[in-house]
Amino acid sequence: MNKDLIKGILILVGVVLALAIFATAATEDGVQKLSCMGRAIWHGVSLTNIHSVCGL
């Protein structure tokens, strides 16, 4: 893969991640839910179970 393709993919992932974080933080109790998701990922909760653990 060439460097331009890798840079493009990283920029796209960064923009999507920033939008997801902003959308979560902008909602009511979004910061608490965002921190809950971070703790759940850190402690090994599978991505499919985060919805039920954090009450999303």
Q: What is the pLDDT of residue 13?
A: 92
CA gap 17, 24 in Å, rounded: 11
Query: What was the pLDDT predicted at 49?
Result: 84
**pLDDT for res 11:** 94
pLDDT at residue 48, as a whole number: 83
Domain ranges of the chain: 3-54
- What number of other Cβ atoms are within 10 A of residue 50's Cβ? 18
pTM for the predicted model, two decimal places: 0.51
pLDDT at 51: 82
Q: How far is the C-alpha of 45 from the C-alpha of 48, rounded, in Å?
A: 8
Give per-residue pLDDT as tens, 6-48. 999 999 999 888 877 787 777 777 778 878 888 888 888 887 8
Distance CA 40, CA 48 (A): 11
